[in-house]
Structure 1
Amino acid sequence: MPNIRTLSPNTHLLQSDETLTINKDWFEPDYWKTQNALKGTGNGRGAVWFIHSSLGQFVIRRYRRGGFIAKFNKDRFLYTGLKSTRPWQELSLLEHMRALELPVPRPIAGQVTTGFGFYRSTLMTETIPNAQDLFDILKANRAHTLDWKNIGRVIKRFHDHGIYHSDLNCHNIMIDNANTVWVIDFDKCEHRATDTLWKQDNIDRLKRSLDKESKRHASFDSLDAQWRDFLEGYRG
């Protein structure tokens, strides 16, 4: 479980990697910009920054709300204790999955700032080097270069260990230069008892994301054969 350290009366550090001397500055993109280590930004459920420094390569993600509520509350969540916060839960799940030797990013730390019954928070994980997400690979018309049976086998490993991914899609699966398959973004994910219903829901969600992006991007190959290979790998 992450180690808790209080940085100020309202700010708490949740640290998974005890080898690094982390402080509040680490969660501020402007700090890394002054170190010439801010290498890019990304989109997704939260605001994302990519850090390449002498201390390591990290991804910083600020937790943001989605849907209608985000129109008037972008990043505040009800505070009921540190172990109920999203970074604590995500770091804890990442630590558990790493112990199972599942291919997920190495957890580094999280920061939680509380006030008036709410909290804001940020997560830091290690970058997966030399990797692209499945979406970018497909958009580049390289679906035929992937081992879809292996992708299916990797997803099956997560399911066999009871890992439920709440938003499994083609943006959250990454492939590195060694063709290793990684899964990322475990916000609001959890360990569950084995059940074929949620497993099938995960598979269906991934298929919907592929179909959705195929309709949006003409560069996507037809994925019928690839999806059959994925299912063959998943089913063993």
Structure 2
Amino acid sequence: MRLATLRQKNRLILHDADSLCDALGTHQVAPALFTSDYWRERGLIVGEAPGRGRSLFLQATPTEQWVLRPYRRGGMAAKLSQKRYLWTGAERTRAFRELRLTAALFEQGLPVPRPVACCVNRCGLTYEAALITVRIAGANALAELLVNDLADEALLQRVGSMLWRFHRAGLDHVDLNARNILVDPSGAPWLIDLDRCRLRTPGKWQEANLKRLERSLLKFSNDSLMPIIYRGYGS
């Protein structure tokens, strides 16, 4: 994976040159690539995901779809600005940090979406940003599977095993929930949305991750599922 940075006036684009190779015949690496208008004008928006910021699914090439996710604030901070963040340098932006982290995990063979590119638009002391990753074909959120009673014990144990792999790699996923775990058609789980996540040495944060997931699971299932997940965790 070859990461490169492109500067255009007040905009910085960090991208994986390999991911963009097939798409460059149709799409140029430019700030417009990170806007919904660009894809809507070409009729290439094929869906959207729920949640803050409304991620869009894009038909980037005949064989590959992308996910475009604008960065949006939540909680009390959103009352000040929903999409502006304090500028403290390109490498400290949420977009650059998430793309580099995702790329590092992807290179280790961990189940995260392949990162494509991110764009940071500096506006004086603040910035806006958006991220593009490859869409996991045919995947559904674990939350959706739980609601429809489609998550069996074998799948939940595979989720536990996956989380163990990420924890062993040092990933502290600060928003580990049932919507950020996807399951592809083969039954393999994937982890998405690494915004504000980081690599750390082992510690209490690992248990905090799992407790956060437990609270999320209770929103979608009346059963206690963590004991099943723990059976896969570590194996």
Is the partner of 1:147 in helix, strand or coil?
helix
Structure 2 distance, partners of 1:93, 1:202, is 18
User: After superposition, what is the alpha-carbon deviation per residue over 1:206-235, rounded to whole angstroms, capped at 9, x for unaligned?
Assistant: 000111x13xxxxx4x433x4322111114
Determine the C-alpha separation between the residues in 2 that align with 1:188 and 1:45.
Answer: 15
Residue 31 of structure 1 pairs with residue 32 of structure 2: no
Asked if 1:137 corresponds to 2:115, the answer is no
* Unaligned 5+ runs, structure 1: 215-219
| Secondary structure of 2:122's aligned partner | strand
For structure 1, which segment, 102-111 or 67-76, has the greater mean C-alpha deviation from structure 2 after superposition? 67-76
Q: Is the 8 A contact 1:57 1:127 kept in 2?
A: yes
Deviation at 1:81, TM superposition (A): 1.0
C-alpha offsets along residues 142-183 of structure 1, whole Å, 9 cap, x if unaligned?
123752111101100000010110100000001111111100
Deviation at 1:17, TM superposition (A): 3.4
Q: Does the residue aligned with 1:143 lie in a helix, a strand or coil?
A: coil
| Distance (whole Å) between structure 1 residues aligned to residue 48 and residue 19 of structure 2 | 26
Moved over 6 A (4+): none
What's 1:3 paired with? Answer: 4
* Residue 122 in structure 1 maps to residue 130 in structure 2: yes
Q: Give the CA RMSD over aligned residues.
A: 1.6
Offset, 1:47: 3.0
Counterpart Cα distance in 2 of 1:179 and 1:43: 22
Counterparts of 1:157 and 1:25, CA distance in 2:
36
- Superposition pairs for residues 114-193 of structure 1, below 5 Å? 114-144=122-152, 147-193=155-201
After superposition, the Cα gap between the structure-2 partners of 1:37 and 1:210, relative to the gap in structure 1 and judged at 3 Å, is: same
Shift of 1:42: 2.2
* Structure 1 residues 68-79: aligned runs within 5 Å: 68-79=76-87
The count of residues paired between Structure 1 and Structure 2 equals 226
Q: Which amino acid aligns with 2:212?
A: R
- Asked whether 1:41 is paired with 2:41, we answer no
Q: Which moved more, 1:177-186 or 1:63-72?
A: 63-72
Q: Please, which runs of 5 or more residues in structure 2 have no aligned partner?
A: none
Amino acid in the other structure paired with 1:159: H
* Contact kept? 1:16, 1:91, Cα under 8 Å: no
Kindly provide the amino acid, as one letter, of the partner of residue 55 in structure 2.
V
| Contact 1:40–1:50, Cα closer than 8 Å, also in 2 | yes
Deviation at 1:190, TM superposition (A): 0.4
- The answer (yes or no) to whether the contact 1:59–1:125 under 8 Å persists in 2 is yes
Partner of 1:217: none
For residue 83 of structure 1, what is the amino acid of its counterpart?
A: E
The residue identity in structure 1 corresponding to 2:135 is T
Task: Describe the superposition over 1:109-145 as per-residue Cα deviations: whole angstroms up to 9, x where unpaired.
Answer: 0001111211000000000001000011111121237
Over 3 Å counting, the alpha-carbon distance change for 1:175 and 1:78 in structure 2 is same
Where do residues 45-124 of structure 1 align in structure 2 (5 Å cutoff)? Answer: 45-54=52-61, 56-124=64-132
Q: Is the 8 A contact 1:78 1:117 kept in 2?
A: yes
Counterpart of 1:15? Answer: 15
